[in-house]
């Protein structure tokens, strides 16, 4: 029979029997109370001695909120002190003071344990000395719709001024006709790089070879770095579009040599060791590996020189240490002011684009046309102060050469001259750390000045006879508002150059002016888009080879970014390169003379992509 069925068959007890049981229970309870009262009276006599025989009337007492009534049953919760006392055989103090003392002791024990735990966590997560290695892999793909991957074209009109006026017998008339030719006036870098002699003829560059490479050979329109396909800024090709036998001498290493054909590529593999050396001390380095198949021989440029290719090997892998420095950082006034000292190879002071020169940090893929002048990492000493919660920042450095990237020849690791370069930057930065809660705005101005650097010539020979300077000025703006980010820079840089003398070698002249505006917007945490417009107007004249560049072009870049997670990002860009000004006029000269040619249709269109894996 089930339990439910058994309960249903039970019969109720008679009422008289129930009242009897209740009466017996009440009688037993009264007896217990009387017994307890006698025991309490006996205890009082024992504690107080002889009791008075006179009757005593006790006034009614108000119950204490902390003390239970005499007839109240109280459940004592064991404490750490009571358990310890019970185990040791000592009497347990159950008074309020004892309980408070026990709680205070337990609280102190918990505080000590928490303090010890926090110390252990700090030792693990932020030890005084530690070493960690991080880095990334940048894998990409690119392809060209227009152009052959190169950003330069040899300027070679059919009726060159060098030969056009050869039939004029009178020397004065011939020289005057040459000087007044519109192409000579448009491109003095090409047709009179060292000016004119006293008789009106073209002055010969004294340091140029008397034979072999002639003065009218190396005339380039364009920019060898304009067709960059990855974040380091490597161009797809540096051979002239209309004359593959000539290639860039401003960027002498042909990193990829794709000829504009689509290809997969390991753009970069990076290892970055970071070591904490104690309170405020940190050492950091960055080593980049570039798997390439281009030979490192300059003979592979097929420039007609005397250097032969370096054998049958096609291995061109190389590495680059882009920074390695020791930093000491300290703070004062409760962290409102910070001071950092750097020694080694560190980030530059010029502009703000250097902050995103690494693949994981850059929103898109390619750098701006100005990055070559401001994204280099100089060697020397640097001090940076941030004041009033980073509202004001001042930086000052002394280093070997300018902040140019090493892909450009106006940069060197070690110095060959006495005059070093001095650089600095001042900025005001309004953010949530100080006065701007909803928007982040930074405005900065920077510059550097020093002796000219060139990777081809001994700039230390006759350094101050005369002194040849190289300088840069930059103005930058950075704005962040919600999901929108804006970056903009204007830059001007000049290397004065020198035509050469008996005591000093010739040094090339460089003058460049440009700007970029880049905006990006994140529609979602994992999806964003960017748009950038940049412009560069530059000329570069080498008085020894000699060769010359005229680069007047603008570029527009549209891109998108997908962040799969914090460690994996997929980026893609479409890039259009377009000449303007006298560069466009020079291309039109060749179009009129030779019809529709690759040179006349210089504009480049291509897509490039990057998958960045951070570890």
pLDDT in tens, 417-450: 889 999 999 999 999 888 888 899 999 999 999 9
d(CA 309, CA 151): 24
What pLDDT sits at residue 443?
A: 97
d(CA 350, CA 356): 13
Residue 418, token pair as written in the block: 């006495």
User: Cβ–Cβ contacts within 10 Å for residue 500, how many?
Assistant: 19
Say if residue 387 is exposed, middle or buried (CB neighbours under 10 Å; 0-12, 13-18, 19+).
Answer: middle
What pLDDT sits at residue 46?
A: 43
Q: Tell me which of 488 and 179 has the higher pLDDT.
A: 488
- pLDDT tens sequence across 47-77: 444 444 444 444 444 444 455 555 555 555 5
Which single residue is written with the structure tokens 């204007």? 490
d(CA 28, CA 371): 100
Query: Where are the alpha helices (H) located in 171-311, listed in sequence order?
Result: 171-180, 182-186, 188-191
d(CA 166, CA 66): 120
pLDDT class for 159, splitting at 50, 70, 90?
confident
Report the Cα 375 to chain-centroid distance in Å. 11
User: Cβ–Cβ contacts within 10 Å for residue 194, how many?
Assistant: 20
DSSP strand pairing (281-290 vs 152-154): unpaired
| Nearest to 155, CA basis, from 548, 540, 512 | 548
- What lies within 8 Å, CB to CB, of 71 at 6+ separation is 33
- pLDDT tens sequence across 516-543: 999 999 999 999 999 999 999 999 998 8
Identify the H or E element spanning 369.
none
d(CA 388, CA 397): 22
Asked if the model's pLDDT at residue 216 lies above 80, the reply is: no
Say if residue 549 is exposed, middle or buried (CB neighbours under 10 Å; 0-12, 13-18, 19+).
Answer: buried
User: What percentage of the chain reaches a pLDDT higher than 70?
Assistant: 77
What pLDDT sits at residue 197?
A: 87
Angle between helix 80-88 and helix 96-125 axes, rounded to 10 deg: 110
Identify the DSSP state of 525: T
- pLDDT tens sequence across 321-366: 999 999 999 999 888 999 999 999 999 999 999 999 999 999 999 9
| Nearest to 286, CA basis, from 255, 329, 319 | 319
Fold of the domain spanning 132-160+216-614? Porin (2.40.160)
Mean pLDDT of 494-523: 92
Residue 11, token pair as written in the block: 């019969």
- pLDDT tens sequence across 79-132: 555 555 555 555 555 677 778 888 888 888 898 889 888 888 877 777 777 889
Which sign does the torsion angle of CA 288, 289, 292, 294 carry? Answer: positive
Mean pLDDT of 546-564: 93
pLDDT class for 256, splitting at 50, 70, 90?
confident
* 529 phi/psi in degrees, rounded to 5: -140, 155
- What lies within 8 Å, CB to CB, of 526 at 6+ separation is 562, 563, 564
What pLDDT sits at residue 294?
A: 52
- pLDDT tens sequence across 279-310: 889 999 999 999 887 544 343 444 433 334 44
User: What percentage of the chain reaches a pLDDT higher than 90?
Assistant: 43
CB-CB contact of 516 with 532 (8 Å):
yes
pLDDT class for 594, splitting at 50, 70, 90?
low
**Among 66-80, 114-128, 204-218, 400-414, whose mean pLDDT is lowest?**
66-80
* 149 phi/psi in degrees, rounded to 5: 95, -10
What pLDDT sits at residue 323?
A: 92
Residue 39, token pair as written in the block: 């025991």
pLDDT class for 587, splitting at 50, 70, 90?
confident
pLDDT class for 376, splitting at 50, 70, 90?
very high
pLDDT class for 237, splitting at 50, 70, 90?
confident
Query: Left if phi > 0, otherwise alpha if psi is -120 to 50, otherwise beta: which for 200?
Result: left
Identify the DSSP state of 587: H
Asked if the model's pLDDT at residue 382 lies above 70, the reply is: yes
What pLDDT sits at residue 304?
A: 38
CB-CB contact of 532 with 364 (8 Å):
yes
Arithmetic mean of pLDDT over the chain: 81
- pLDDT tens sequence across 260-281: 899 999 999 999 999 999 888 9
């Amino acid at each position: 029979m089930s339990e439910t069925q058994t309960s249903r068959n039970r019969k109720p007890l008679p009422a008289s029997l129930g009242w009897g049981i209740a009466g017996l229970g009440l009688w037993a309870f009264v007896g217990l109370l009387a017994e307890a009262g006698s025991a309490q009276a006996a205890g009082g006599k024992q504690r107080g001695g002889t009791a008075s025989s006179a009757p005593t009337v006790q006034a009614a007492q108000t119950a204490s909120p902390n003390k239970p009534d005499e007839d109240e049953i109280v459940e004592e919760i064991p404490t750490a002190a009571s358990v310890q006392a019970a185990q040791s055989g000592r009497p347990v103090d159950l008074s309020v003071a004892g309980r408070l003392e026990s709680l205070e002791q337990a609280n102190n024990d918990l505080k000590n344990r928490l303090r010890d735990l926090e110390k252990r966590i700090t030792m693990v997560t932020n030890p005084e000395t530690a070493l960690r290695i991080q880095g990334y892999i940048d894998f990409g793909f690119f392809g060209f719709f227009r152009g052959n991957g190169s950003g330069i074209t040899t300027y070679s009109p059919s009726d060159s001024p060098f030969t056009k006026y050869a039939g004029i017998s009178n020397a004065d008339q011939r020289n005057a006709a040459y000087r007044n030719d519109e192409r000579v006036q448009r491109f003095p870098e090409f047709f009179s790089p060292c000016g004119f002699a006293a008789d009106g003829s073209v002055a010969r560059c004294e340091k140029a070879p008397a034979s072999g490479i002639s003065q009218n050979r190396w005339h380039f329109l364009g920019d060898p770095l304009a067709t960059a396909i990855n974040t380091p800024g490597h161009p797809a090709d540096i051979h002239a579009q209309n004359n593959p036998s000539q290639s860039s001498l401003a960027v002498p290493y042909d990193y990829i040599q794709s000829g504009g054909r689509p290809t997969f590529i390991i753009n970069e593999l990076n290892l970055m060791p970071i070591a904490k050396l104690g309170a405020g001390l940190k050492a950091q380095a960055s080593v980049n590996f570039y798997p390439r198949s281009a030979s490192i021989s300059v003979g592979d440029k097929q420039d007609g020189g005397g250097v032969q290719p370096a054998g049958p090997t096609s291995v061109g892998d190389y590495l680059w240490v882009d920074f390695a420095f020791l930093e000491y950082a300290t703070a004062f006034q409760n962290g409102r002011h910070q001071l950092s000292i750097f020694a080694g190879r560190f980030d530059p002071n010029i502009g703000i684009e250097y902050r995103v020169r690494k693949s994981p940090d850059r929103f898109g893929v390619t750098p701006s046309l100005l990055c070559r002048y401001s994204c280099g990492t100089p060697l020397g000493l640097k001090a940076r102060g941030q004041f009033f919660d980073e509202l004001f920042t001042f930086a000052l450095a002394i280093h070997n050469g300018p902040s140019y990237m090493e892909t450009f020849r106006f940069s060197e690791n070690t110095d060959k001259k006495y005059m070093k370069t001095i650089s600095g930057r001042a900025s005001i930065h309004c953010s949530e750390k100080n006065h701007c809660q909803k928007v982040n705005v930074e405005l900065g101005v920077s510059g550097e000045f020093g002796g000219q650097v060139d990777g081809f010539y001994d700039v230390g020979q006759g350094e101050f006879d005369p002194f040849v300077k190289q300088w840069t000025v930059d103005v930058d703006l950075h704005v962040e508002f919600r999901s929108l980010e804006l970056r903009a820079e204007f830059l001007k840089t000049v290397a004065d150059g020198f035509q050469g003398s008996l005591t000093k070698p010739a040094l090339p002249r460089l003058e460049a002016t440009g700007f970029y505006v880049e905006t990006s917007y994140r529609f979602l945490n994992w999806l964003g888009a960017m748009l950038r417009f940049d412009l560069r107007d530059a000329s570069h004249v080498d008085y020894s080879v000699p060769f010359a560049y005229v680069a007047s072009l603008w570029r527009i870049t549209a891109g998108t970014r997908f962040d799969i997670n914090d460690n994996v990002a997929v980026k893609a860009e479409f890039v259009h390169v377009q000449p303007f000004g006298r560069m466009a006029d020079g291309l039109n000269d060749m179009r009129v003379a030779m019809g529709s040619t690759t040179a006349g249709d210089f504009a480049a269109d291509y897509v490039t992509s990057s998958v960045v894996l951070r570890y």
